[in-house]
Amino acid sequence: MPTDPSPPRAPSGIPSRDRPGAQPDIGPDAAQHPTAIPPTLGLVLAGGRARRLGGGDKGLLTIGGRPILARVLARLAPCAAVILNANGDPARFEALALALPVVADDVPGFAGPLAGILAGLDWAAAHRPDLAHVVSAPADCPFLPTDLVARLHGAARSASLPLACARSGGRRHPVAALWPVALRHDLRRAVVEEELHKVGAWMDRHGVALAEWPDAPVDPFLNVNTPDDLAAAETLAAEHPGA
């Protein structure tokens, strides 16, 4: 683990560098990306059932002594605001002192990630109409890239497409993505009337740009689904403390 002293703590209990609205740290290739990121809502998708881990919230598991959720929030720090999509009792997140709005799905049944994304788009329209975009990130990915928000915006802008998602090692990661709030009504029709559950299928209807990242030495989109994944992530965090 790094030996640098911890930065001053913000009132919510999150390090000040991890708070929404903090200046982004987009790494050595920053020259490839605009310095100004359009006002964006960060959306952490924590609605999974974690069946292969015995249930519970994967984001509350720790990697290197730090909750995965805290790691994800650090990557969304360039956003103007951040919300958490999760179902059930939001009090279970109080131990982390996050002070974030927790927004549940409003689609009946378990409609998967698209329902969480829809909840985020609707929340932005109702509560933050100044934010025209949402960047979503899964709560079970402990090594998300530091330049996630900037690169997704850059990819969509360069391709003149409304959506962008991450790709590493030739594989798309459609829940690590940029979404325009203006498409929320179309998304609701797809989820409610068509009962569409495949994120990539809906994206492809509108056009999606791909933001590329290498998958070595650590795949930034590695997610924790099983006890073996959790053990592997612990090993990677120890071997690559900056990841």
Q: What is the DSSP string of 73-112?
A: HHHTTTSSEEEEE--S-GGGGGGGT----EE---SSS---
Angle at which helices 113-127 and 199-206 pack, to 10 degrees? Answer: 60
Report pLDDT for 26: 31
Report pLDDT for 153: 98
Amino acid letter for position 77: A
* Cis peptide bond N-terminal to 217, omega within 30: yes
Where residue 54 falls among pLDDT bands split at 50, 70, 90? low
Pick the range with the lowest mean pLDDT from 45-49, 54-58, 59-63, 103-107: 54-58
CA distance 239 to 162: 37
pLDDT exceeds 70 at position 63: yes
Report pLDDT for 51: 53
Token pair 């930065």 is at which residue?
7
CA distance 150 to 211: 10
Which three-class secondary structure state does DSSP give residue 186? helix
Where residue 53 falls among pLDDT bands split at 50, 70, 90? low
Report pLDDT for 109: 79
Alpha-carbon torsion (213, 217, 220, 225), positive or negative: positive
Where residue 88 falls among pLDDT bands split at 50, 70, 90? confident
Q: Which residues on adjacent β-strands are paired with residue 40? A: 133
Residue extents of the structural domains in the chain: 16-239
| CB environment 38-71: b (16+ within 10 A), e (fewer) | eebbbbbbbbbebeebeeebbbbbebbeebbbbb
Condensed to tens digits (0 to 9), the pLDDT of residues 144-196 reads 999 999 999 999 999 999 999 999 999 999 999 999 999 999 999 999 999 99
What residues contact residue 36 under an 8 Å CB cut-off, 6+ apart? none
Q: Sheet of 163-168: strands edge to edge?
A: 102-103, 81-85, 40-45, 133-138, 171-180, 163-168, 208-213
Q: How many CB atoms lie within 10 A of CB 207?
A: 13
- Residue 10 has which token pair? 């913000």
Q: Whole-model pTM?
A: 0.83
- The correct answer on CATH 3.90.550.10 for the domain covering 16-239 is yes
Which three-class secondary structure state does DSSP give residue 141? coil
What is the maximum span of the chain, computed from C-alpha positions, in angstroms? Answer: 53
